[in-house]
Chain A
Amino acid sequence: MSPLYAEKFRIPKHLEIADGAVVPSPVGEQPMMKTGNWRIERPVIDHEKCTTCLNCFIFCPDGCWHLDPKSEKMVWDAIYCKGCRICVEECPADALRLENELNFKGGVARLDKPY
């Protein structure tokens, strides 16, 4: 807390804390929070219909869609997609559909515990 605020709010010296703290930003995947096993259904993309509008990238709460610059196609993350269906709702090109997870062999990290 800055001295100004400390004075304003009469915070005793020994209770003052710093204005903020520097924490490392999570860049990349969270190995401790793999949410792929929440999924009952997964979004399946039809690249013919996809216009790469990036709506799915913007709306996915878990950052599970990105545009691959080489192929210029949307790429999906099976380990973290929790099957919330938001991307399917938000795709304006009807390029995403849902399919039951057990119709696919791989794609889920097998965990001992929920986390």
Chain B
Amino acid sequence: MADVFEITIWCRGVTQDMEGRHLSLVLANGAAKGGKFVQAWDNYADLPDRVQVPLRKYDRISDEEIEMRYLYENDHPQLVLVMDDTIIKGIDILRGMPKGGALVVNTKRSADEILSLIPNKDLLSSLTLVDATGIAGGTGLESVDFMGSEGGVEAVSVAVGLAAPLAGAASKVCDKFTLDNLVASAANKAGVKEGAKTAVVKTL
């Protein structure tokens, strides 16, 4: 079987679930565009619906067709990406990594500080630090807000895609929310307005 390059992404449940999935998809799609064979998937065993739980997403990339189909975890990741630096403290994120692997961390902290949290750092050939939160203009919680309860209250960046025009369309037939307030609540404001404008209501 051909060499399969394994990537594991660590992120936080709920608050970074979507971002983590997007990261695994963008890496897989990027590799596929370059002619590679790819797999990208979420972890089944972690608890993505619990706020802040450490959560994994995976990629596999190969020059030949990937025959590993029924193994749902990457046992030997050569690249590990971490979306929240505090995860490193509580999890052996390098578990199974062959010597010479690479680690990428979203953090504002120094390399020494991050390395001090990793007892098995001798496995690494490189550590890459990026302030992804700062660049993305986020709060560290990315796509959702976190309001100090068991459930995250999603308020930031909701209604980016399909939800926006559908919310707009809903405003035409339901007076529980105004179009203005839906526009104010949605990330894709133009989408909400366009949905409201173009929705066809047929009274029966």
Contact = CB atoms under 8 A, between A and B. Distances in A.
Interface of A: 35-40, 61, 82-86, 88-89, 100-102, 108-114
B89 A84 contact: no
Interface residues on B, range: 20 to 34
B10 to A, nearest CB: 9
Contacts of A114: 45-47, 53-56, 91
B90 A36 contact: yes
Contact of B86 (A35, A40, A85): A40
Tell me whether chain B's interface is mostly helix, strand or loop, or mixed. Answer: loop
Given A82-B52, A83-B52, A111-B92, A102 B84 contact: no
B150 A38 contact: no
A86 B148 contact: yes
Q: Pick the most buried of B55, B87, B109: most chain A CB atoms within 10 A of its CB.
A: B87
10 interchain residue pairs of minimum CB distance = A37-B90, A85-B148, A38-B52, A108-B90, A101-B86, A114-B54, A89-B148, A112-B92, A40-B86, A108-B89
Nearest to A83: B52
Nearest to A37: B90
A102 B117 CA distance: 9
Tell me whether chain A's interface is mostly helix, strand or loop, or mixed. Answer: loop
27 contacts: A37-B87, A37-B90, A37-B91, A38-B50, A38-B51, A38-B53, A38-B54, A38-B90, A40-B84, A40-B140, A61-B150, A84-B148, A84-B150, A85-B146, A86-B149, A88-B148, A102-B86, A102-B113, A102-B117, A110-B90, A110-B92, A111-B92, A114-B53, A114-B54, A114-B55, A114-B56, A114-B91
